[in-house]
């Protein structure tokens, strides 16, 4: 054993000793406690110098002086000012309005967008493309309004019509919030943003605004020249159901309705008997006239009541006995004497006599009857809605014995009613959208599509009219003859082959006004687009029918939009 080693400490003139065993010395030399020497474990700590404490004390003293000086200013120097402000000022949470999404056409051209609002900087000003005939499609909005204290009590824009209203959940976005401090006079003292707004989503319509503008110009031009009171036109892709153009007149202006500044003009629209807020393509109900012969012809072929090659003589009218006045037969007139016509020719020249006979029967010619007329026109989508993404769509009317009994106080259905229904008169009422879908179904041989105003939407097939393909071919050949040598001759162009059918429906008590129709599709051999145009309440004596609208439109397309003609 090693001798004891003594350690000496001197404190207060007194000597203390402690003993350290040699084995303890050797234990420390091996670092058996396993101190982390890299982290300074096991090292003897050095005391902090006194000047550090002095510096920290001086710093804290300086900070204290600053706070005391600031407190003196707030409480003593400006105390009364802030006391008054705290008593009279108030805090309000208010909205930061999100910008509405931009509405584009199919080529990313803006139709409705946002600009800086000089009058109300709290939200953007909504701007609409002008002179497009799209107001009843786009709709309009109302801006948020303030209460008497100058604060907004509406938490969003108020969409009133059209796409603005239908797609509001996507377009409107999410508002932000901010805190505003105001003084007793209502002046803003300060404001602080709490949540930033999130702008609405942009959407793309199926509309091509250049086609849209020209269709609208053509409608207005023919209306002015012929004195029509209103009208509508629609162009649809027969493979997708996308609406490329949809024009109405007269109609309101989205910009004026949104801005609300021209109160005189708005009042005139609200009081107008011409219904400028009516979207005629979707909500307008019209007597179709001879365009319904296309769909009656499909039923005639399917029922086999006549060979398509068999000819019927049209001398200008047919007469049937009148059970009430035997000496006064009921006469049903054609618009002219056509001579002998088969089905294709009857479609081309729009022979009433032919469709009287194959519709209601005459002498030895059997007709399909009113129940089958009802059946086949319904097969092509009439008498119901198209399920388009738009509110307020009308069903229309298909006359029947039950309908007549209900509307005319129990009156009996007669063969003359069948005759008139077979040529699209009597109680028939349709919308232009129903018509263009029905014509598209003839062009694409039986596919009933759901129309849409949105680009790239999933194709929806509402139904399939499963009739013999040869029947479609016969009707389409008749429509093509209508262009080359019939009532649609005005659109017989060398640059595009069109298939078409016109129609004229007499309206009014005196039958002195007409609705003029033209429907069809192009190109004839590879159909891509269908159209329907109706001109409303024109003179029965005018020579400017709806076919001239398509004449102008197609002529323009040949120069400026030939890609749609290929």
Residue 513 is predicted with a pLDDT of 86
Confidence label for 20 from pLDDT (cuts 50, 70 and 90): low
**Tens of pLDDT, residues 518-528:** 999 999 999 99
Q: Do domains 92-203 and 209-564 have the same CATH topology?
A: no
Cβ pair 203, 167 in contact under 8 A: yes
- Mean predicted confidence (pLDDT) in 254-274: 94
Residue 8 is predicted with a pLDDT of 46
Residue 18 is predicted with a pLDDT of 52
Confidence label for 1 from pLDDT (cuts 50, 70 and 90): very low
CA distance linking residue 255 with residue 93, whole number of Å: 31
Reply yes or no on whether the pLDDT at 11 is more than 50: no
Homologous superfamily of 92-203: Penicillin-binding protein 2a (Domain 2) (3.90.1310.10)
Beta bridge pairs of residue 103? 112, 203
Reply yes or no on whether the pLDDT at 28 is more than 50: yes
Of the two residues 346 and 76, the one the predictor is more confident about is 346
When the pLDDT of each residue in the chain is averaged and rounded to a whole number, the result is 87
Of 190, 44, 176, the residue nearest 99 (C-alpha):
176
**In 324-421, which ranges are E strands?**
330-333, 339-341
In CATH, 209-564 is 3.40.710.10: yes
**Tens of pLDDT, residues 152-182:** 777 789 999 999 999 999 999 898 887 777 7
Q: What is the DSSP string of 225-283?
A: HHT-SEEEEEEEETTT-BEEEEEEES---HHHHHH---HHHHHHHHH-TT-TT--HHHH
- Mean predicted confidence (pLDDT) in 366-389: 96
Of the two residues 552 and 33, the one the predictor is more confident about is 552
What are the boundaries of each domain within the chain? 1-88, 92-203, 209-564
């Amino acid at each position: 054993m090693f001798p004891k080693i003594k350690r000496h400490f001197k404190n207060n003139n007194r000597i203390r000793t402690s003993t350290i065993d040699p084995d303890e010395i050797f234990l420390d030399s091996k670092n058996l406690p396993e101190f982390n020497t890299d982290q300074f474990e096991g090292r003897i700590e050095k005391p902090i110098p006194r000047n550090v404490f002095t510096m920290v004390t001086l710093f804290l003293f300086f900070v204290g002086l600053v706070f005391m000086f600031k407190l003196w200013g707030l409480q003593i120097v400006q105390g009364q000012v802030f006391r008054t402000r705290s008593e009279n000022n108030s805090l309000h949470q208010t909205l930061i309005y999100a910008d509405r999404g931009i509405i584009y056409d199919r080529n990313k051209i803006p139709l409705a967008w946002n600009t800086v609002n000089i009058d109300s900087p709290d939200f953007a000003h909504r701007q609409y493309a002008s002179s497009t005939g799209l107001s009843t499609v786009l709709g309009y909005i109302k801006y948020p309004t303030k209460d008497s204290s100058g604060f907004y009590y509406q938490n969003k824009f108020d969409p009133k019509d059209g796409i603005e209203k239908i797609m509001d959940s996507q377009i409107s976005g999410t508002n932000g919030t901010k805190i505003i401090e105001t003084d007793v006079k209502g002046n803003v003292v300060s404001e602080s943003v709490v949540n930033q707004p999130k702008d609405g989503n942009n959407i793309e319509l199926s509309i091509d605004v250049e086609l849209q503008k020209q269709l609208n110009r053509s409608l207005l031009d023919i209306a002015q020249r012929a004195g029509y009171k209103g009208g509508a036109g629609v162009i649809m892709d027969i493979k997708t159901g996308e609406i490329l153009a949809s024009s109405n007149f007269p109609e309101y202006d989205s910009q004026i309705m949104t801005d609300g500044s021209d109160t005189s003009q708005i009042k005139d629209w609200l009081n107008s008997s011409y219904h400028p807020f009516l979207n005629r393509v979707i909500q307008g109900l019209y007597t179709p006239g001879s365009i319904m012969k296309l769909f009656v012809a499909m039923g005639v072929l399917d029922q086999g009541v006549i060979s398509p090659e068999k000819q019927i003589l049209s001398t200008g009218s047919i007469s049937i006995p009148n059970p009430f006045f035997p000496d006064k037969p009921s006469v049903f007139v054609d618009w002219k004497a056509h001579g002998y016509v088969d089905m294709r020719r009857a479609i081309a020249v729009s022979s009433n006599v032919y469709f009287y006979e194959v519709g209601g029967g005459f002498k030895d010619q059997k007709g399909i009857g009113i129940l089958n007329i009802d059946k086949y026109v319904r097969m092509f989508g009439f008498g119901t809605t198209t399920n388009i993404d738009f509110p307020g769509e009308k069903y229309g009317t298909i006359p029947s014995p039950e309908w007549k009994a209900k509307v005319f106080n129990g009156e009996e259905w007669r063969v003359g009613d069948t005759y008139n229904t077979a040529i699209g008169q009597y109680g028939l009422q349709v919308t232009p959208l129903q018509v263009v879908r029905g014509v598209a179904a003839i062009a694409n041989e039986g596919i009933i599509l759901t129309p849409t105003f949105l680009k790239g939407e999933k194709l929806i097939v509402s139904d399939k009219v499963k009739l013999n393909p040869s029947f479609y071919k016969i009707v389409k050949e008749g429509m093509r003859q209508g262009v080359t040598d019939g009532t649609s001759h005005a659109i017989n162009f060398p640059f595009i082959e069109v298939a078409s059918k016109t129609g004229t429906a007499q309206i009014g008590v005196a039958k002195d006004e007409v609705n003029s129709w033209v429907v069809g599709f192009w190109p004839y051999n590879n159909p891509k687009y269908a159209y329907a145009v109706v001109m409303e309440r024109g003179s029965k004596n005018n020579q400017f029918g709806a076919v001239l609208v398509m004449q102008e439109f197609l002529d323009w397309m040949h120069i400026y939009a030939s890609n749609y003609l290929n």
